[in-house]
Chains A and B, each alone.
Chain A
Amino acid sequence: MTSDAEWKFVPSELDEFLADKGNNALLGIRYHAHSPEWIELAMPWSEAFVDDPAAGSMATGAIMTLLDNTAGTSIYLQRGGFLPQVTLDLRADYLRPAKPRSTIICRSECFKWNASTALTRGIAYDETPEDPVCHVTATFMLL
């Protein structure tokens, strides 16, 4: 049986988990900040991750990956551990294109959870949280 310590969620150690593998590592997604309620992850700009090279904004697909990750991480924050979960649904509203060559930061909070499901809401922004590029809600099934 796995000890609780092994699964304990420590925000400052999150980068080890994010940089380890897969789509998070490819996109360079990293811990940015957190409060007791929310957590922020950041995704640096790359010319490989834009929509149209002439415009230079990060693609909505890359942003959706950040939204999904940050929403899931905000549940780890509330539950205090890396506990198994899967995304049930995700809705992203695009408010404006991201500024060219800008790092995208997503802030998400898990505002309700019980034994089987967790509800999250968040935004993505390039400069300030007051001027978001995207609004997101996502529901997760807790396993």
Chain B
Amino acid sequence: MANLELHLPTYAQTIGIGIDRWETGSPVLGIDYKPEICGNPGMLHGGAVSTLLEVTAIASLDAELRSEHGPVSLTPLNSTIQFLRAAGEGRTFASATVVKAGRRLANVAATVWQDTPDKPVATAVVNVALAPRTAE
């Protein structure tokens, strides 16, 4: 599958979230630490981690649906985030798995890590509403 030009939210771009690489058709997103997105000094803010998780969930779903159906309008219904360890200075990564994509809703699981995915910084489940794919 060709790697897609995914459009990330303006806020995600503002804080420096970008596509790091593609792994088997799914995007890995990344963000570099900078003082503007810290909570405690030297630690990534929980809000920045939450943003990375949610943006990655939507981007991964977008990539999967587009390859099958073309562009689909995606709106997050809710995000549930578990914070597991602090993210320090350095680069932080995220990937996501589409657990289920139905006609109207999708459930996506995302993970954020720094050194290795086996030591997650945070995980999230995001429920997403899909816009109708055909005109009424």
Flag if B83 contacts A60 (CB, 8 Å).
Answer: no
**A61 contact from B35, B50, B78, B86, Cβ within 8 A:** B50
Instruction: Determine the distance from Cα of A97 to Cα of B22 in the docked complex, in whole angstroms.
Output: 30
In the assembled complex, which residues on chain A have CB atoms less than 8 Å from the CB atom of B76? 60, 94
**B10 contact from A48, A86, A87, Cβ within 8 A:** A48
Contact residues, A84-125 vs B (CB, 8 A): 86-94
Shortest beta-carbon distance, A110 to chain B, in Å?
16
Given A61-B47, A89-B81, A92-B79, decide whether A22 and B35 contact each other with a Cβ distance below 8 A: yes
In the assembled complex, which residues on chain B have CB atoms less than 8 Å from the CB atom of A87? 46, 83
Residue of chain B at shortest CB distance from A71: B46
**A60 contact from B35, B39, B79, B80, Cβ within 8 A:** B79
Flag if B83 contacts A62 (CB, 8 Å).
Answer: no
Flag whether B67 is at the interface (Cβ < 8 A): no
In the assembled complex, which residues on chain A have CB atoms less than 8 Å from the CB atom of B101? none
Q: How large is the interface on B (under 10, 10 to 19, 20 to 34, 35 or more residues)?
A: 20 to 34
Flag if A51 contacts B10 (CB, 8 Å).
Answer: yes
Shortest beta-carbon distance, A130 to chain B, in Å?
21
Contact residues, A51-70 vs B (CB, 8 A): 51-53, 58-62, 64-69
Instruction: Determine the distance from Cα of A52 to Cα of B80 in the docked complex, in whole angstroms.
Output: 22
Give a binary string over A13-25; 1 marks a CB under 8 Å from any B CB, 0 the rest.
Answer: 0000000011111
In the assembled complex, which residues on chain B have CB atoms less than 8 Å from the CB atom of A68? 45-47, 50
Give a binary string over B85-113; 1 marks a CB under 8 Å from any A CB, 0 the rest.
Answer: 01000000000000000000000000000
The 6 closest A-B pairs by CB, nearest first: A65-B47, A61-B51, A59-B11, A23-B45, A22-B38, A64-B50
Q: A59-B10, A91-B78 are in contact. List 7 more A-B contacts (CB 8 A).
A: A22-B39, A25-B36, A61-B55, A64-B47, A68-B45, A92-B79, A93-B78
